[in-house]
Chains A and B, each alone.
Chain A
């Protein structure tokens, strides 16, 4: 069952429907993508820039305490070593050679030293030849000669020597401090003390690094001088290349042998062969920042979602507007084509009529002359037969004249004469033409005419033509004994409505679609296919509307709206 309202105004261009839908969805995608990129890209880059800036400043913030800590700890170490060295130096210069070489006296001095400064393990005196003259401590080192050892040469050159860490007899890592003293009489001796490096561990422990962090001493050759939690025991090689020498505290970003991302802070000692290093894992230092970033991320995502939603809605709106205006345009083109078709048909008809009328006029006159000649002479040979031919010619001319005049009549309807019209009167008059046929076929012609219908400015001939065309179609559609109902209505302040309803055969959807097109006919040989096209053209020109509702087998209702005021222009 199909029920359709056909109005040329609202007719949809449905032939390219599928293609159009595809075109619009492609367009929608493009606009959406473009808008999304344009709006989200700045947001994204802002977030990215923010991320990196924040990370950089945070890294600095994290690195700084590490740098300071390492700097301080280095100072502690240097202070510790300087204290011990100057203690040894003081003893070497404060006591005469005889006191120092006396083991009892040395023992007393050593005890005072140990009391004042923790970490001393032993103390011994060595003469300029390298012989161990006296010794207090846990080892039996008396009588040893150090003349061939590297440290002894160094202390003789530099006056002071601080050894790397080495493993002592009791499996304790030790450091040796040796100081050379030259007395006024030219004799020189070396005072040598050993320090237990557990003091180093104590200093490092005082850094109180958080978990995951590590600090240790290495020498410049990369041998660990204290235990490292992460990189091995004392005297093992540091499994990393040594950073460039610097007496300032530096912070590097490294990846350690275990693959961890670390901040490495280090500083070289000026007076000793040591490098203090501290590492801190990077992820953990950025932990605080991640929580900040989570908030940022939520804001960013919410922003993106909001932008996307807005973009989606706006795109939707744009596409809908575009589609609507496209449809309106197609509709307008349709209408223009239609009226152009009609007017070109009008011009064509006028041209054809004119071209035919001239030769027709000649034929007419020639035949007339022949007839005149024969009329004058009653004894014209074969007169009766010839007269018959002439009559046939003249009646044919008459037929042609009828045709050309109808064609011209069609063209002439392009001209309009506007006057106030009583629509009810025009309707009644028009129905008068059809009453005889209706009576003959027993078709009921009902009329429901509104009283006091205001007169409307229009062209009587054209209005009549419209009513006649529609009524003719209705009459052709109804069976004998059918019914046609004609009604008029004061519809609103703009229009008077005339509707002509029949209970005839109705029209298919296809017919409805084409019924206003010129030369479209369902009457085969009987119709020209111009009737409804002309009707449509007239109604439109008068500023009205024509709508058709039809159901196959149930009937058709044609509704004509005529404007109460003449359209401007």
Chain B
């Protein structure tokens, strides 16, 4: 599957971070959508189901793990990669238990993120096919 066709949703309250990340992904041919909080992320997922959601754990308002849970409930096929600024294993383990695909620490290694997104989509594709 071509990277251009990946449907990616980026969710982070750090606007500068998430828009720059989106721009860099766009430079690599992706067309990610961006949300700045949990509620709008859920709306975006309902509007058009993404293949991968890159989700920040620590957000004001609705927490990342809650968003994850809701997404997994409504769309079990959507893969979620968690981002955390805090290396709390507990959050990571909790996220994995709730069905997250992977969790990564900030600052990100972009290549690793793309690789993991590929894995997530590929795995899903494999599962679907």
Instruction: Please give the residue numbers on chain A whose beta carbons come within 8 Å of chain B beta carbons, in ascending order.
Output: 350, 353-355, 357-358, 360-366, 368-369, 372-373, 376, 397, 400-401, 404-405, 408-409, 411-412, 415
Which of B17-25, B30-38, B63-71 lies on the face that meets chain A?
B17-25
Name the residue on B nearest A376 (C-beta): B27
Q: Which of B20, B86, B110 contacts A357 (CB 8 A)?
A: B86
Is A412 within 8 A of B88, CB to CB? yes
- Is there contact, CB below 8 Å, between B110 and A368? yes
The digit string for B90-109, where 1 denotes a CB below 8 A from any CB of A, is 10000000000000011110
A358 and B110 contact, Cβ closer than 8 Å, known pairs A369-B24, A411-B87, A412-B87: no
| A408 CA to B88 CA, complexed, in Å | 7
Query: Among the listed B20, B87, B88, which residue makes an inter-chain contact with A365, where contact means beta carbons less than 8 Å apart?
Result: B20
In the complex, are the beta carbons of B89 and A354 less than 8 A apart? no
Judge whether B42 is part of the interface by a CB distance below 8 angstroms: no
Interface residue from B17, B27, B28, B89 paired with A361 (Cβ < 8 Å):
B17
> Are A365 and B90 also in contact (CB < 8 A) when A353-B85, A376-B27, A405-B105 are?
no
> Chain B contacts of A401 at CB under 8 A?
105, 107
Interface of A is mostly: helix
Chain B: number of interface residues, binned into ranges: 20 to 34
Closest Cβ of chain B to A47, distance in Å, is 75
B24 touches A358 (CB 8 A): no
Among A366, A376, A405, point to the contact of B87 (Cβ < 8 A): A405
B19: nearest chain-A partner, CB-CB: A365
- A360–B107 CB distance below 8 A: yes
Interface string of B67-85 (1 = CB under 8 A from A): 0000000000000000001
B16 at the interface (CB under 8 A from A): yes
Contact: A365 with B21, CB < 8 Å? yes
Measured CB to CB, the closest approach of chain A to B60, in angstroms, equals: 12
Whether the Cβ atoms of A365 and B85 lie closer than 8 Å is: no
- Do B85 and A361 touch (CB < 8 A)? yes
17 other A-B residue contacts (CB within 8 Å) besides A362-B14, A412-B89: A350-B88, A354-B58, A355-B85, A357-B105, A358-B17, A358-B106, A360-B107, A361-B14, A365-B16, A365-B110, A372-B27, A376-B27, A400-B107, A405-B87, A408-B88, A412-B87, A415-B90
* A440, B113: Cα distance in complex, Å: 40
Among A357, A401, A411, which residue has the most Cβ atoms of chain B within 10 A?
A357
Do the beta carbons of B87 and A362 come within 8 Å of each other?
A: no
State in angstroms the CA–CA spacing of A365 and B14 once bound together.
12
Bound-state CA distance A357–B106 (Å) is 6
State how many angstroms separate the Cβ of A124 from the closest Cβ of chain B: 141
A-B contact pairs, 5 of them (CB 8 A): A350-B88, A368-B24, A376-B27, A401-B105, A404-B87
| C-alpha spacing A358/B56, complex, angstroms | 10
Residues of the B chain whose Cβ atoms lie less than 8 Å from the Cβ of A361: 14, 17, 85, 106-108
Interface centre among B20, B23, B107 (most CB of A within 10 A): B107
B106 contacts which chain A residues (CB < 8 A)? Answer: 357-358, 360-361
Q: B86 to A369, Cβ gap below 8 A?
A: no
- Output the nearest chain B residue to A407 by Cβ-Cβ distance: B87
Contacts of A372 in B (CB 8 A): 24, 27-28
Q: Which residues of B contact A358 (CB under 8 A)?
A: 14, 17, 85, 106
What are the residues of chain B within 8 A of A411 when measuring CB–CB? 87-88
Q: How does the 8 Å CB contact mask read for B44-69 relative to A, with 1 for contact and 0 for none?
A: 00000000000000100000000000
Known: A361-B17, A361-B106, A397-B107. Is A408-B87 also a contact (CB below 8 A)? yes
Query: Are A415 and B89 touching (Cβ within 8 A)?
Result: yes
Q: Which residues of A contact B89 (CB under 8 A)?
A: 412, 415
The minimal Cβ–Cβ distance linking A375 to chain B, given in whole angstroms, is 9
Q: Quick one: given A372-B24, A376-B27, are A365 and B105 in contact (CB under 8 Å)?
A: no
Query: Which 10 pairs of residues, A with B, have the shortest CB-CB distance?
Result: A408-B87, A357-B85, A364-B107, A361-B106, A354-B86, A365-B20, A361-B107, A357-B106, A354-B85, A362-B17
